Amino acid sequence: MAEMTIRRVGVLSLAKMQGFLMMVMGLIIGVIYGLLFMVLGATMSSLAPRSDGQAIGGVGSVVIGLIIMVAVPIFYGGIGFVGGAIGGLIYNAAAGFVGGLKIDLESDIPYTPPPPQWNPYQQAS
């Protein structure tokens, strides 16, 4: 096992990943709430007498359900992107004081560290 320390994270990389993950969560939540609005709206529209304005409210609820299915993932993705960027900046600042996050990595490929005098920019003589 090799113990490594994450000293810095790519702020944009973290923001993109967090934004995508939150968009997926928003898609799940948006579909659930959108379907709920649509079903309740369709039920309200079908149970209403034809001369009543309640049928229009039911159709409006179906439209709101569709809007929820589109708007919630976009909103969650945007908030996740901003939150990931702020979180990355805070992590980088905190890692400067604390020293970073230590993780243990395990690999099937044996790792041999380079010798101490190794310099990748040095010309071979």
Q: What pLDDT, in 10s, does the model give residues 18-74?
A: 999 999 999 999 999 999 988 887 777 777 666 556 666 677 888 899 999 999 999
Residue 92 lies in a domain: yes
Residue 77 lies in a domain: yes
Residue 74 lies in a domain: yes
pTM: 0.72
Q: What is the pLDDT of residues 73-109, one digit of tens each?
A: 999 999 999 999 999 999 999 998 998 888 887 777 7
Average pLDDT score, the chain: 85
Residue 109 lies in a domain: no
Residue 68 lies in a domain: yes
Q: Which domain holds residue 35?
A: 27-46+56-99
Find the distance separating the first CA and the last CA of the chain, reported in whole Å. 35
What does the alpha-carbon distance between residue 66 and residue 47 come to, in Å, rounded to a whole number? 21
Residue 106 lies in a domain: no
Q: How many domains does the chain have?
A: 1
What does the alpha-carbon distance between residue 6 and residue 102 come to, in Å, rounded to a whole number? 6
- The pLDDT value recorded for residue 10 is 94
Q: Which residues contact 39 (CB under 8 A, 6 or more apart)?
A: none
Q: Which residues contact 8 (CB under 8 A, 6 or more apart)?
A: 92, 95, 100
107 φ, ψ (degrees, to nearest 5)? -135, 155
Residue 90 lies in a domain: yes
- The pLDDT value recorded for residue 20 is 97
Residue 73 lies in a domain: yes
